[in-house]
Chains A and B, each alone.
Chain A
Amino acid sequence: MNIGESMKMAFSAIRSNKMRSLLTMLGIIIGISSVIALVTLGNGSKAMMTKEFSAYGANRATIYLGNDDEETSEDIYTYMISENDLEMIERIYGHKLEGVSPTESFLGTVAKGRKSYNVTFNGVSDSYNKIENLTLEEGRFFTKEDVASERQVIVIEKKMVDNFYDGVSPIGQVITVDVNGQSETFSIIGIYSKPASNFQMESNLNFTAYTPLSIGTRINESEGFGALEYNVKKGFDVKETSNSIISILERTHDAKGKNVYRVFTMESQLKMMNKFTGTITTFVAAIAAISLLVGGIGIMNIMLVSVTERTREIGIRKAIGAKKKDILSQFMIESIIVSGIGGIIGIVTGIGFALIGTKLMKVPLTVDPKVVLFAFMFSAMIGVFFGIYPANKAAKLNTIDALRYE
């Protein structure tokens, strides 16, 4: 008997027990679809993250003050990055850096009619537009002189023009903002836009604006900076440069070995992300393995029932000349087909779930053919593994007893 005939027989057996076959497949379907859905979603979010991070800038790094629990806030002050530190870093590493800037943020509110809008002001240095991926739509970014002379100028985002100024360019206009109960007046010198990020919640009531660092320092009355952002020029190693900046800071603040200055780079962030995804993948794999094991036992169970039900058929087949291996292959192929169909349904529903998930999470759908193929092969393997015992039982039936079976 050839495989074609065995497959025909298996399909007709499955067709005549549609509901039972479907229920038998369920374990496999759930197992395979959850693997496919989660792996696909995982890949999608990984791809999105990589894209997001590369938009942030692969050469970008942030040095920040690490606040370990045992450190009191008083101690932290002595380690704060000062204006002098900034000048020194610019002097020593200027040739390696595209831009270097701390950020002093403060909040302000502007009112228009009855609506009130929140504006996050980021006080940054003039080179900040070389760090952050900003596109100047109109006007200009502030200069060294603007920063040095504490000019009350701001660069606002395009969204603010659209929502607050009804699309009319406000360049040259003056805006009065309420900051901690005091009025601050700024003149608008530029409009920027930046690529939309999935990480930030979009709201039409919140705007972000950039203002000279000196303004931020004055308003926050800060004595130093808690963080420093910079972009390392191409050709220089991000990690190496960051480490030597840290060692200079440690030397000037007498903080050697205290691990107060830490660096955040995209590279380290990606590594952490991958570790996280790896943990989730392991977790999912464990759940899927349990589900597939249960599914496999389900198949074995139903195949055993099927062998008992068809004892007489087996007897007839053997009487008219079926060999042991014919009966064995018939039942093996049936169980492989059941698990294989379960696998295919699982793959399709898994991709379906992933599609919905990617729509909700706004990540790209990336179906890995390797994973799909592996899932299919694995489900077929379950059919082989859990089909052997029932098929062997069928093949070993005594012909006379089987023929007499009622």
Chain B
Amino acid sequence: MNLESMYQEIILDHYRRPTHAGLREPFEAQVHHINPTCGDEVTLRVHLEGADGGTADERTDAGSVVVADVSYEAQGCSISQASTSVMADLVVGERLDTALRLHGEFVELMQSRGKLERDHESMEESLGDAVAFTGVAQYPARVKCALLGWMALKDAAAAALEHHGTPARVGNEETV
């Protein structure tokens, strides 16, 4: 019986009661990601603020902005729904560079087929509830489900940084 290893209680809880769900304002970028093999979809928005609490307007690097909000509307299986909810829980309030590091660690975990060198404890320290998806990594067909929201986050964050950065640069050029 492997079902319980995939569908940990934490996952089922997030599936039934997703956190940060719904689309909210303000936001700097919105992306729409689809898993073409199964039709799961997520529309995800990111709102960034300056790390010191001010607006993020002229900050263009991930270390100087904070993920102030992640909001989303998603349709899909329990794994994709729960993973997006856990992701939002983890990254909201974190500096963007931290959020992107977590993204990298989660992708690594998901692509490990359950054979990661790193020990569970240190993984849990950074990834928190997201380590519950370790069991999913053993099912290659479901890895994309777990990654759907995280990939949307990465894309949206890049677009949001661009949104902040580009106008600032354009503004400078215009004043020259």
A, B assembled together = no
